[in-house]
């Protein structure tokens, strides 16, 4: 049974979806959710779903080995689900091809520091894109530059608002992210 640790900074809808996907699985389980945001709604979701969740700060994450040591004990695979900090090189090195992120655009477009959530959807709309989608990728030391695992596209119309784009992306995330994680785990068992 593989152990999944999820990093989340916000509402936690993707984290909840992943937790539910693996609740009755015989291949993996979510053992813990870590967040850098004490006000993140993901804590409420974890409490409701009976999953351990912990808060950490930049010191624990980047300068000390608190988070790294925790991951060595608790994680076989790490999932970033709306996590906004760059992963330190020492964690990336300790978990090669075992840290997976989802990005709300078709990388390499609309990636990098500051490109998350509505910032991405706004840029997609402003550039009159006819399609967008999600990219699931391995994490390296740079924002959104790790090897791409999968991409799923959705068509856009010129009448789509940024809210419409966000809804289309959310549906893709909910449908595809847990399945891709499961496939990666199955390939590495």
Q: Enumerate the active-site residues.
A: 103
Partners of residue 32 on adjacent β-strands = 5
Integer Cα distance of 100 and 138 in angstroms: 5
- Name the strands in the sheet holding 99-103, side by side, starting at the edge strand that comes first in the sequence: 53-55, 28-35, 2-7, 77-80, 99-103, 131-138, 148-155
Helices (H), 25-160: 42-49, 58, 66-74, 89-94, 117-126
């Amino acid at each position: 049974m593989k152990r999944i640790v999820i990093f989340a900074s916000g509402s936690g809808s993707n984290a909840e979806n992943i937790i539910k996907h693996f609740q009755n699985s015989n291949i993996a389980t979510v053992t813990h959710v870590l967040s850098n945001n004490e006000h993140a709604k993901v804590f409420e979701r974890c409490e409701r779903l009976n999953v351990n969740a912990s808060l950490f700060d930049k010191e624990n994450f980047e300068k000390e080995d608190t988070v790294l040591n925790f991951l060595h004990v608790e994680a076989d695979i790490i999932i970033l689900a709306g996590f906004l900090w760059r992963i330190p090189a020492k964690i990336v090195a300790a978990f090669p091809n075992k840290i997976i992120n989802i990005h709300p655009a078709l990388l390499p477009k609309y990636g990098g520091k500051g490109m998350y959530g509505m910032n991405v959807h706004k840029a997609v709309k402003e550039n009159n894109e006819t399609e967008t989608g999600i990219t699931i990728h391995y994490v390296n030391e740079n924002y959104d530059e790790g090897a791409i695992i999968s991409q799923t596209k959705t068509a856009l119309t010129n009448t789509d608002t940024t809210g419409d784009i966000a809804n289309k992306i959310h549906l893709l995330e909910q449908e595809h992210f847990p399945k891709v994680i499961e496939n990666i785990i199955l390939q590495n068992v």
